[in-house]
C-alpha cells in the first residue's frame, strides 16, 4: 500500500518535522514493513498560480496552438496584458480568466526538467502552463490543470497544493487487513510514536443536519435492499444522493492524495469512493439509480447466471459467487467488481452508494475463481471492518453532496445479519510467557488498548491457550491433568479482551500476545542461548546417504540437481514396455511447463538432459550423478486425500488414509557416463567410460553401504539388452524393502533367487537396480553420445539391507604367509564370470582368502563358444603356514566345484 505521510499525519499527531526514515523504521519494527519512503513534490520549483488574461489562437500549425498572456500578480490583472508573461500552450481546455499553474523560466519540474524562456511557433514563450501529469499528480496530460477560481494568484503552486510530501510503500501481510488503509497505518504510527490518534471513521462524521438523522437512521425513500444469504454478507448499507452534477470536478487536494497513493482520478463520484476506501479501508460502490430495477438482494448466484463486469468481461457465475442483484438479475459481484449495466456515467445524477461487509472466504473464493483481483476484493478477503459501512457511506454521501452539489436522501437502507461478538480470554501473563520477557499486566492491558481492544481485568480458574470455540477441548489430552493439579483452587489474573471490529485476525491469545510483543518491540526480547539436548545424531540412513554421495564424488562423479519433472514422451524414449512400473506417473495439474507435466519415475531422463547441456558447453567427458526422490503412483490408491479436521489431533486411521493417497517416493541414485573416464595425456591414451565402469560404480555404492551387490545379466530398458547388469542385495524378508517399491529378486527372471541367510534370518534377494550401457535406441532418442552408460539404484532397498546387516564385524587377521595358486578354467561362453567365481569360492572352503579374475581369453584353440577365465586364488590359514599339499587340495576342490556347477574344465589340465 502506498500512502503519503501528510495523510497519515492528519490522524496521527506526529512530531513536525519527522524523519521519514525514522517513520519507516518504527512502522517496520511494529510489523508494517516499509519497503520504501520516497520524497514527492520536492523536485518542483518555480511554479506559481497564474490567471489567463488573453488567448490568441495561432493558426498555420499542424495542431491548435495558443499564445496566452498569464498574470501572476494582482497588479498584472488590472494592467496591460502585454506586461504579463506570454506563454505558448498546446492545450485548449481552459478559458480566459482560469487560474492555472504556470512554470516560470527557471522553474524545475519532476525529472529535473528545467523550464526556460524559448522561442516557439514564432513567439517568445516565457514559461509553461502545466498539466497534472507534468506536476506528477496524475496521468492526465491531455489538458492543463485548471485550478479553482479562489486559488491565490501568484502563490507558489507547490505550497498551495501541498505537494511536498513523503510517500511510504508498505508491504502489508495478509493478516493485517486493517492496515490497508490510512486509518490502520495512522493507528500503528500513533502507537509507534506514542502520540494521539484520531479515528477517521469516528471523527468529522456528517451530523443529522446532513443525513437527516442519526448514522443508522433508516430512510424510507432510500433504495430498498435485503440480505438473502447471511453467510455471504452480514451488513449491507445503501445511501442516496440525487441531483448530483456529473461534471463536477474532483478538488485538487483529493486528486493529489489519490495520485500519491497511485490511484487514477476518474470522476468525482468514483474518486470519492476510492478516496474513502483508501482512508478508511471500506470499499464503496456507486450505482446509477436510474439503471436499477426493484429491490436489491444480496444472494448467491443461480445456475446459468451471467454478468458483464466493469472491465467488459462477460462472466459465467458459479453458484457459490456472492451477487448483488435487482429485479433485472445480477448487477454486481459483491466486493469484487460492479456490473456494467448499473455503472455510473457522465450523465448519472442520482447515485446509490453501497457499503457492505462481505464474507472474507466468499470474496476470496470468488476473486480466485474468476481470476479477478480488485482493490475491493483485496480488502474484503483480508477482513474488512463490519462497523464501517454506516460511517463510510455517510462520509461518501456528504462528500458527494458537498463537492458535487447533490441532495442527500435522509436515512439509509440498512440490512444486517446477526454476528456473534468475538471475546478472547487470556491469562494476563500469557504474553510474558510467549516472549520470555516480564511485561506486567499494566503494559499488556495498555498495549491491547492501543490496538483498539476493550479489556476487562478479572480472575478465573483457567485461561486456555486456544480460544474454546477453536479447539475441541473435550477431546484434548491434557485438560484432565490440569484439573487434577488443582488449578481450580487458585484463581489467576485473566484479561477478557474484545478485539476491535477491524481486527478480525485477533481470535486467540497468541494473536493478542503478538500485538503486545510487537508494540513493546521484538528488539527488546533477549536471546537465551540453548542448552545442550540429548539428540541422537543422524540416522543410519542419513549417514549412508552422505556416504554414497561422497563415494561417488570420490570416484570422479559430479553431483547435479535436476528438476524432478518428466515428459510423457520419456516412457517411449526410454523404450519402457507398457506394463513397466516407471510408466504410470504422478501428474501435476498446473505444471510449470506443459511439456513436462509429470513427476519423474526415474532419474535418468533428467541426467540425460544435463549431460547434453554440458556436452553443448564443450564438456564431453562426463560422469554425473543425482540422488533424489522418484514418484510412483500406488496401484489402487484412493484418488483423493481427505482433509482432516484441525481442531484435534488426527487418529491413526485418519493418518493412514492420508498416507494411502500419497504415491511411493523412494530415494534413488542414478549416474550417467559419457566420453573418457580416464583422460589421454602425456602418459598415453585415455580410456573411454564403458559398461564395467557403470557396474563398478553401482558396486561402489553397495560398498559404501557395506553391501556386496550380486550382479546378474538382465534385459531391462533403457539398457542395452546384452550389456545390462541387474544388481541384487540380500535383505531380511518380508517387506523390509517393500516400501521402496522394489521387486523381489525372483520376479526379475534372473538366475536363481536362492540365497542363504547372512544373518541367520530368512533373507530375500531384492533388486536394487541396474547398470550398464544404454540401449542404442535410447541413445538415439535422447541424442546421447554413442555407448553412453548409466546406472540407477533404489537407495531405499540398499539402506534397508544395510540396516538389517547390523554393525561391521572386525575381521580376524592372520599373519601367516599367503599361498597363491593360479587356475585357468574353460567354460561355455554363456557362463557368467560371477557364477564361476561363486563356484570357486564355494569349493575352495575356508582357507580361501581372495579370488581375483586376472584374464579372460577366447580363441581358436579353445573351440567355438568357449572362453578361458584365469583366476588367482589366495589361501591363508588363521593358525599355521599352509603346506603345498593343503593349498593344492583346496584349489582342486574349487576347480571341482566349478566343474560341477558350470562345467568348467581346467585349461591344459
Residues 612 to 631 in contact with another protein, rule: CB under 8 A:
613-614, 617, 619, 621-624, 628-629, 631
Scan for cell 479477478, then name that residue. Answer: 372
Phi, psi of 242 (to 5 degrees): -120, 150
Given the complex with another protein, which of 265 and 363 has the nearer CB atom?
363
Instruction: Specify whether the CB–CB gap between 804 and 851 falls below 8 A.
Output: no
Task: Looking at residues 815 to 834 of the shown chain, list those that interact with another protein (rule: CB under 8 A).
Answer: none
Report residue 30 CA to chain centroid gap: 24
Give min distance, CB of 703 to another protein, in A.
Answer: 16
DSSP one-letter code for 681: B
Q: For residue 17, is the peptide bond before it cis, meaning its omega torsion is within 30 degrees of 0?
A: yes
Residues 553-572 vs another protein: string with x where CB under 8 A?
Answer: xxxxxxxxxxxx--------
Given the complex with another protein, which of 402 and 487 has the nearer CB atom?
487
Q: Does 842 bind another protein (CB under 8 A)?
A: no
Helix (H, G, I), strand (E, B) or coil at 398: helix
Give min distance, CB of 438 to another protein, in A.
Answer: 11
Say how far apart CA 428 and CA 33 lie, in whole Å.
Answer: 29
Give min distance, CB of 844 to another protein, in A.
Answer: 34
Taking CB under 8 A as the binding criterion, the range among 566-574, 633-641, 728-736, 857-865 that sits at the site for another protein is 633-641
Number of residues counted as binding another protein (CB under 8 A): 121
Given the complex with another protein, which of 391 and 431 has the nearer CB atom?
431
Q: Got the DSSP string for 60-91?
A: SSSS-EEEEEEE-SHHHHHS-GGGSEEEEE--
Q: Does 474 bind another protein (CB under 8 A)?
A: no
Q: Does 365 bind another protein (CB under 8 A)?
A: yes
Given the complex with another protein, which of 54 and 465 has the nearer CB atom?
465
Give min distance, CB of 711 to another protein, in A.
Answer: 23
Taking CB under 8 A as the binding criterion, the range among 1-9, 110-118, 305-313, 472-480 that sits at the site for another protein is 472-480
Say how far apart CA 729 and CA 156 lie, in whole Å.
Answer: 88
Give min distance, CB of 76 to another protein, in A.
Answer: 46
Say how far apart CA 668 and CA 180 lie, in whole Å.
Answer: 48
Say how far apart CA 669 and CA 604 lie, in whole Å.
Answer: 9
Say how far apart CA 523 and CA 377 lie, in whole Å.
Answer: 34
- Selected from 95, 112, 474, 527, the binder of another protein by CB under 8 A is 527
Given the complex with another protein, which of 530 and 859 has the nearer CB atom?
530
Q: Does 783 bind another protein (CB under 8 A)?
A: no
- Selected from 95, 112, 474, 477, the binder of another protein by CB under 8 A is 477
Q: Which of 818, 823, 831, 815 is nearest to 903 (CA)?
A: 831
Task: Looking at residues 48 to 87 of the shown chain, list those that interact with another protein (rule: CB under 8 A).
Answer: none
What cell does 291 get? 439503471
Give min distance, CB of 179 to another protein, in A.
Answer: 11
Q: Does 22 bind another protein (CB under 8 A)?
A: no
Say how far apart CA 389 and CA 374 lie, in whole Å.
Answer: 18
The length of the chain is: 909
Within 13 Å and on the Cβ side, how many CA atoms surround 308? Answer: 6
Taking CB under 8 A as the binding criterion, the range among 415-423, 586-594, 819-827, 839-847 that sits at the site for another protein is 586-594
Helix (H, G, I), strand (E, B) or coil at 734: coil
Taking CB under 8 A as the binding criterion, the range among 64-72, 635-643, 710-718, 752-760 that sits at the site for another protein is 635-643
Say how far apart CA 885 and CA 894 lie, in whole Å.
Answer: 14
Q: Tell me whether residue 76 is exposed, middle or buried, using C-beta atoms within 10 angstroms of its C-beta: 0 to 12, 13 to 18, 19 or more.
A: buried
- Selected from 36, 93, 173, 829, the binder of another protein by CB under 8 A is 173
- Selected from 49, 145, 677, 851, the binder of another protein by CB under 8 A is 677
Q: Does 381 bind another protein (CB under 8 A)?
A: yes
- Selected from 226, 306, 368, 423, the binder of another protein by CB under 8 A is 368
- Selected from 119, 682, 812, 908, the binder of another protein by CB under 8 A is 682
Going from the C-alpha of 617 to that of each of 559, 621, 626, 759, 774, the distances in angstroms are 17, 12, 20, 50, 22
Give min distance, CB of 149 to another protein, in A.
Answer: 47
Given the complex with another protein, which of 477 and 885 has the nearer CB atom?
477
Given the complex with another protein, which of 739 and 881 has the nearer CB atom?
739
Taking CB under 8 A as the binding criterion, the range among 243-251, 641-649, 713-721, 845-853 that sits at the site for another protein is 641-649
Given the complex with another protein, which of 129 and 428 has the nearer CB atom?
428
Taking CB under 8 A as the binding criterion, the range among 39-47, 324-332, 655-663, 792-800 that sits at the site for another protein is 655-663
Task: Looking at residues 405 to 444 of the shown chain, list those that interact with another protein (rule: CB under 8 A).
Answer: 433-437
- Selected from 203, 247, 491, 588, the binder of another protein by CB under 8 A is 588
Which ranges of 17-144 does DSSP label H, i.e. alpha helix?
A: 20-29, 74-78
Say how far apart CA 859 and CA 866 lie, in whole Å.
Answer: 8
With residue 627 as reference, give the H or E element that holds it.
strand 622-629
Task: Looking at residues 503 to 522 of the shown chain, list those that interact with another protein (rule: CB under 8 A).
Answer: 508-511, 513-514, 517-518, 522
Say how far apart CA 377 and CA 362 lie, in whole Å.
Answer: 10
User: CA angle 26-29-32, nearest 5°?
Assistant: 90
Give min distance, CB of 361 to another protein, in A.
Answer: 5
Say how far apart CA 719 and CA 774 lie, in whole Å.
Answer: 4
Given the complex with another protein, which of 217 and 511 has the nearer CB atom?
511
Given the complex with another protein, which of 172 and 826 has the nearer CB atom?
172
Instruction: Specify whether the CB–CB gap between 576 and 655 falls below 8 A.
Output: no
What cell does 528 get? 537465551
With residue 167 as reference, give the H or E element that holds it.
strand 165-171
Q: Does 656 bind another protein (CB under 8 A)?
A: no
Q: Does 526 bind another protein (CB under 8 A)?
A: yes
- Selected from 95, 112, 474, 529, the binder of another protein by CB under 8 A is 529
- Selected from 21, 313, 419, 641, the binder of another protein by CB under 8 A is 641
- Selected from 62, 371, 536, 809, the binder of another protein by CB under 8 A is 536
Helix (H, G, I), strand (E, B) or coil at 325: strand
Instruction: Specify whether the CB–CB gap between 581 and 724 falls below 8 A.
Output: no
DSSP one-letter code for 131: B
Task: Looking at residues 174 to 233 of the shown chain, list those that interact with another protein (rule: CB under 8 A).
Answer: 174-176
Q: For residue 19, is the peptide bond before it cis, meaning its omega torsion is within 30 degrees of 0?
A: no
Buried b or exposed e, range 789-799, using 16+ CB within 10 angstroms: bbbbbbbbbbb
What cell does 475 get? 477431546
Given the complex with another protein, which of 340 and 629 has the nearer CB atom?
629
Given the complex with another protein, which of 679 and 856 has the nearer CB atom?
679
Taking CB under 8 A as the binding criterion, the range among 118-126, 357-365, 738-746, 800-808 that sits at the site for another protein is 357-365
Three-class DSSP labels, 847-859: CEEEEEEEEEECC
Taking CB under 8 A as the binding criterion, the range among 286-294, 463-471, 707-715, 820-828 that sits at the site for another protein is 463-471
Give min distance, CB of 482 to another protein, in A.
Answer: 6
Say how far apart CA 313 and CA 339 lie, in whole Å.
Answer: 10
Q: Does 587 bind another protein (CB under 8 A)?
A: yes
Taking CB under 8 A as the binding criterion, the range among 22-30, 189-197, 289-297, 749-757 that sits at the site for another protein is 22-30
Given the complex with another protein, which of 640 and 813 has the nearer CB atom?
640
Phi, psi of 597 (to 5 degrees): -85, 0
Given the complex with another protein, which of 111 and 526 has the nearer CB atom?
526
Amino acid at each position: 500500500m502506498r500512502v503519503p505521510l501528510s495523510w497519515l499525519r492528519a490522524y496521527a499527531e506526529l512530531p513536525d518535522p519527522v524523519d521519514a526514515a525514522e517513520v519507516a523504521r518504527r512502522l517496520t519494527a511494529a510489523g508494517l514493513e516499509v519497503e520504501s519512503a520516497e520524497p514527492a513534490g520536492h523536485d518542483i520549483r518555480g511554479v506559481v498560480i497564474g490567471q489567463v488574461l488573453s488567448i490568441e489562437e495561432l493558426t498555420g500549425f499542424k495542431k491548435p496552438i495558443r499564445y496566452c498572456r498569464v498574470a501572476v500578480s494582482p497588479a498584472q490583472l488590472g494592467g496591460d496584458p502585454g506586461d504579463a508573461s506570454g506563454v505558448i500552450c498546446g492545450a485548449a481546455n481552459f478559458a480566459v480568466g482560469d487560474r492555472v499553474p504556470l512554470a516560470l523560466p527557471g522553474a524545475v519540474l519532476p525529472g529535473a526538467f528545467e523550464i526556460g524562456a524559448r522561442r516557439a511557433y514564432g513567439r517568445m514563450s516565457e514559461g509553461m502552463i502545466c498539466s497534472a501529469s507534468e506536476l506528477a499528480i496524475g496521468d492526465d496530460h491531455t489538458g492543463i490543470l485548471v485550478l479553482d477560481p479562489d486559488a491565490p494568484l501568484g502563490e507558489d503552486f507547490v505550497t498551495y497544493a501541498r505537494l511536498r510530501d513523503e510517500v511510504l510503500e508498505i508491504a502489508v501481510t495478509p493478516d493485517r487487513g486493517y492496515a490497508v488503509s490510512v486509518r490502520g497505518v495512522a493507528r500503528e504510527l500513533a502507537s509507534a510514536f506514542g502520540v494521539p490518534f484520531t479515528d477517521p471513521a469516528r471523527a468529522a462524521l456528517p451530523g443529522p443536519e446532513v443525513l437527516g438523522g442519526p448514522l443508522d437512521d433508516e430512510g424510507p425513500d432510500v433504495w430498498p435492499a435485503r440480505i438473502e444469504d447471511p453467510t455471504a454478507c452480514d451488513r449491507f448499507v445503501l445511501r442516496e444522493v440525487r441531483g448530483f452534477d456529473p461534471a463536477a470536478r474532483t478538488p485538487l487536494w483529493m486528486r493529489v492524495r489519490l495520485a500519491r497513493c497511485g490511484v487514477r482520478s476518474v470522476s468525482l463520484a468514483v474518486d470519492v469512493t476510492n478516496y474513502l476506501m483508501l482512508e478508511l479501508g471500506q470499499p464503496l460502490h456507486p450505482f446509477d439509480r436510474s439503471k436499477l430495477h426493484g429491490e436489491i438482494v444480496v444472494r448467491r448466484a443461480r445456475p446459468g447466471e451471467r454478468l458483464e463486469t466493469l472491465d467488459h468481461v462477460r462472466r459465467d457465475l458459479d453458484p457459490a459467487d456472492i451477487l448483488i442483484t435487482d429485479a433485472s438479475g445480477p448487477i454486481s459481484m459483491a466486493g469484487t467488481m460492479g456490473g456494467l449495466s448499473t455503472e455510473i456515467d457522465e450523465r448519472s445524477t442520482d447515485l446509490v452508494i453501497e457499503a457492505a461487509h462481505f464474507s472474507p472466504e466468499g470474496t476470496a473464493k470468488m476473486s480466485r475463481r474468476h481470476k479477478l483481483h480488485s482493490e475491493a476484493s483485496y480488502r474484503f478477503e483480508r477482513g474488512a471492518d463490519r462497523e464501517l459501512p454506516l460511517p463510510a457511506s455517510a462520509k461518501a454521501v456528504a462528500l458527494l453532496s458537498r463537492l458535487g452539489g447533490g441532495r442527500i436522501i435522509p436515512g439509509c437502507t440498512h440490512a444486517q445479519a446477526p454476528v456473534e461478538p468475538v471475546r478472547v480470554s487470556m491469562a494476563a501473563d500469557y504474553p510474558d510467557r510467549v516472549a520470555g520477557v516480564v511485561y506486567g499486566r499494566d503494559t499488556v492491558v495498555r498495549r491491547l488498548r492501543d490496538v483498539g481492544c476493550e479489556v476487562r481485568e478479572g480472575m478465573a480458574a483457567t485461561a486456555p491457550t486456544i480460544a474454546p470455540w477453536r479447539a475441541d477441548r473435550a477431546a484434548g489430552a491434557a485438560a484432565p491433568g490440569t484439573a487434577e493439579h488443582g488449578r481450580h483452587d487458585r484463581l489467576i489474573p485473566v484479561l477478557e479482551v474484545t478485539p476491535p471490529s477491524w481486527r478480525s485476525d485477533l481470535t486467540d491469545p497468541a494473536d493478542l500476545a503478538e500485538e503486545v510483543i510487537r508494540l513493546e518491540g521484538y528488539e527488546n526480547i533477549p536471546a537465551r542461548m540453548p542448552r545442550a539436548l540429548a539428540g541422537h545424531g543422524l540416522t543410519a540412513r542419513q549417514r549412508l546417504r552422505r556416504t554414497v554421495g561422497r563415494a561417488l564424488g570420490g570416484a570422479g562423479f559430479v553431483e547435479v540437481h535436476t528438476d524432478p519433472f518428466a515428459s510423457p514422451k520419456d516412457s517411449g524414449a526410454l523404450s519402457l514396455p507398457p506394463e513397466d512400473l516407471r510408466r504410470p506417473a504422478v501428474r501435476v495439474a498446473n505444471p510449470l511447463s506443459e511439456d513436462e507435466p509429470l513427476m519423474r519415475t526415474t532419474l535418468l531422463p533428467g541426467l540425460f538432459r544435463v549431460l547434453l547441456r554440458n556436452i553443448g558447453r564443450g564438456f564431453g567427458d562426463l560422469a554425473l550423478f543425482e540422488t533424489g526422490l522418484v514418484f510412483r503412483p500406488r496401484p489402487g490408491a484412493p484418488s483423493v486425500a481427505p482433509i482432516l479436521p484441525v481442531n484435534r489431533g488426527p487418529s491413526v486411521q485418519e493418518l493412514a488414509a492420508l498416507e494411502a493417497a500419497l504415491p511411493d517416493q523412494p530415494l534413488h541414485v542414478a549416474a550417467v557416463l559419457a566420453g573418457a573416464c580416464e583422460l589421454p595425456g602425456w602418459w598415453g591414451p585415455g580410456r573411454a567410460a564403458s559398461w564395467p565402469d557403470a557396474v563398478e560404480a553401482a558396486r561402489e555404492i553397495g560398498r559404501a553401504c557395506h553391501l556386496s551387490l550380486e550382479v546378474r545379466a538382465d534385459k531391462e530398458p533403457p539398457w542395452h539388452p546384452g550389456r545390462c547388469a541387474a544388481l541384487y542385495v540380500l535383505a531380511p524378508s518380508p517387506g523390509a524393502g517393500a516400501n521402496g517399491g522394489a521387486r523381489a529378486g525372483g520376479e526379475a527372471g534372473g538366475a536363481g533367487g536362492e540365497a542363504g541367510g547372512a544373518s541367520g534370518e530368512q533373507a530375500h534377494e531384492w533388486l536394487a537396480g541396474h547398470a550398464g550401457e544404454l540401449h542404442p535406441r535410447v541413445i538415439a532418442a535422447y541424442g546421447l553420445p554413442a555407448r553412453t552408460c548409466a546406472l540407477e539404484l533404489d537407495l531405499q532397498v540398499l539402506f534397508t539391507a544395510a540396516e538389517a546387516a547390523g554393525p561391521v564385524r572386525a575381521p580376524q587377521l592372520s599373519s601367516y604367509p599367503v599361498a597363491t595358486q593360479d587356475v585357468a578354467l574353460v567354460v561355455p561362453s554363456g557362463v557368467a564370470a560371477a557364477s564361476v567365481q561363486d563356484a570357486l569360492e564355494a569349493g575352495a572352503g575356508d582357507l580361501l582368502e581372495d579370488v581375483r579374475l586376472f584374464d579372460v581369453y577366447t580363441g581358436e584353440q579353445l573351440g567355438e563358444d568357449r572362453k578361458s577365465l584365469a583366476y588367482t586364488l589366495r589361501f591363508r590359514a588363521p593358525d599355521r603356514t599352509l603346506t603345498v599339499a593343503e593349498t593344492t587340495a583346496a584349489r582342486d576342490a574349487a576347480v571341482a566345484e566349478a566343474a560341477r556347477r558350470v562345467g568348467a574344465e581346467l585349461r591344459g589340465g
